[in-house]
């Protein structure tokens, strides 16, 4: 019998410490070994308790969570799940934490904390378990309302065969979850401004998707948007799904448009990678490339297979460079990926696809 995952909870709120302890201790594979009210106490308890995973609040007395995380990842790298408020400022700080090496984050509601965190029980447990199995980057020196696990049929029915019309337009569809915000950034900053249009589904809370798009726009040569319904899809532009809507492609004459849909969650996600990939497979066939990056779960694996079956190029990020090799690993098991690729080579694969290089 394997040992349970040891978790240390670091938060200045007694209520949050109690709620997270209760939620995590309900799972037989997790044991909360301690709590800390500030980073200084956390530092001592890490030495004493040797936890496998840390949950870390952003706003704390004596030292903020980001400063502590920066020191921690330099001196004693370990899996960290951030506890982040659902605000614009909270989103910015969260992305800073992910850049520093945090594995994932749990959104902390501003009101109704006890009720809302209880509803996130399965998500919280999954993120802690995923963090325990993740690859950590060192810095240089089931709740009552869990949706059933639908497939993409509930949003977009599957059609038979590849598309029957011609187009010279090329499009890249990317899906990601845990570790995906940094993986996406690494891909986008390496692409030139004249790259093909890119559509992205990243599992992310609604309040964080617009700040994430803005953040990517500020550091990339391509123009990056949070996708809007009916927005034309143009070369040199990136469209990121809003946090609570499926993103799809629709053909309108000679043009392609973004379509947003608030249908049921697919594989427990909205937005779902499977939905995006299916729409791209149906509308573009061999003129598309599908890329499945790091993430826990299996969302996107079936969609990547449909892309391959409709003539699209398909890539799964390799295990060595994935924070969590869940989604791309599932795609490889299905035979959906024509190749696996380290993260640092994904951008060149997109450029070669754009230039018709095999």
Q: For every residue of 152-199, which 3-state class applies, written as one string? A: HHHCCCCCCCCCCCCCCCCEEEEEECCCHHHHHHHHHHCCCCCCCEEE
The total of other beta-carbon atoms located within 10 Å of residue 230's CB is 11
* 130 has catalytic annotation: no
Catalytic residue among 195, 299, 318, 322: 299
Are the CB atoms for 169 and 256 separated by under 8 Å?
yes
For the chain, the farthest-separated pair of C-alpha atoms sits apart, in whole angstroms, at: 65
Are the CB atoms for 291 and 174 separated by under 8 Å?
yes
Are the CB atoms for 243 and 271 separated by under 8 Å?
yes
Q: Which two tokens stand for residue 63?
A: 């030292």
Helices 273-284 and 301-309, axial angle in degrees (round to 10) = 10
* 244 has catalytic annotation: no
CA distance 238 to 207: 19
CA distance 101 to 139: 8
Catalytic residue among 84, 134, 177, 241: 177
CA distance 58 to 45: 18
User: Which residue stretches of the chain are H helix?
Assistant: 14-25, 39-49, 65-75, 88-100, 113-119, 121-132, 180-189, 206-219, 273-284, 301-309, 327-334, 346-354
Catalytic residue among 52, 203, 274, 279: 203
DSSP-derived pairing of the beta strands 255-261 and 246-252: antiparallel
Burial 281-317 (b: 16+ CB within 10 A, else e): bbbbbebbbbbbbbbbbbbbbbbbbbbbebebbbbbb
* 299 has catalytic annotation: yes
- Angle CA(337)–CA(340)–CA(344) in degrees, nearest 5? 135
Q: Strand pairing partners for 269?
A: 266
Catalytic residues: 177, 203, 299
């Amino acid at each position: 019998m394997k040992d349970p995952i040891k978790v240390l909870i670091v938060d200045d709120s007694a209520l949050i410490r109690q709620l997270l302890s209760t939620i995590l201790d309900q799972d037989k594979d997790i044991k909360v070994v301690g709590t800390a009210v500030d980073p200084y106490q956390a530092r001592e308890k890490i030495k004493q308790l040797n936890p496998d995973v840390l949950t870390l609040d952003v706003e704390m007395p004596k030292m903020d969570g980001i400063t502590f995380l920066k020191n921690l990842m330099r001196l004693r790298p370990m899996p960290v799940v951030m506890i982040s408020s659902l605000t614009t400022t909270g989103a910015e700080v969260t992305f800073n934490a992910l850049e520093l090496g945090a594995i994932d984050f749990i959104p902390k509601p501003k009101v109704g904390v006890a009720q809302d965190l209880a509803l996130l029980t399965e998500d919280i447990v999954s993120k802690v378990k995923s963090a325990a199995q993740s690859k950590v980057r060192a810095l240089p020196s089931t709740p009552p309302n869990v949706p059933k696990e639908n497939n993409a049929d509930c949003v977009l029915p599957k059609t038979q065969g590849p598309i029957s019309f011609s187009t010279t337009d090329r499009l890249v569809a990317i899906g990601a979850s845990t570790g995906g915000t940094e993986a996406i950034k690494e891909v986008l900053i390496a692409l030139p401004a004249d790259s093909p249009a890119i559509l992205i589904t990243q599992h992310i809370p609604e309040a964080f998707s617009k700040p994430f798009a803005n953040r990517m726009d500020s550091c990339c040569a391509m123009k990056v948007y949070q996708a809007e319904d009916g927005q034309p899809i143009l070369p040199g532009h990136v469209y990121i799904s809003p946090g609570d809507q499926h993103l799809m492609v629709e053909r309108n004459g000679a043009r392609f448009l973004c379509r947003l849909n608030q249908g049921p969650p697919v594989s427990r996600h909205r937005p779902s990678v499977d939905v995006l990939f299916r729409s791209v497979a149906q509308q573009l066939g061999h003129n598309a490339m599908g890329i499945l990056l790091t993430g826990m779960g299996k969302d996107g694996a079936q969609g990547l297979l449909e892309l391959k079956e409709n003539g699209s190029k398909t890539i799964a990020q390799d295990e060595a460079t994935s924070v969590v090799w869940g989604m791309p690993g599932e795609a490889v098991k299905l035979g959906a990926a024509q190749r696996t690729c380290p993260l640092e080579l994904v951008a060149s694969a997109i450029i070669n696809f754009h230039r018709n290089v095999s």
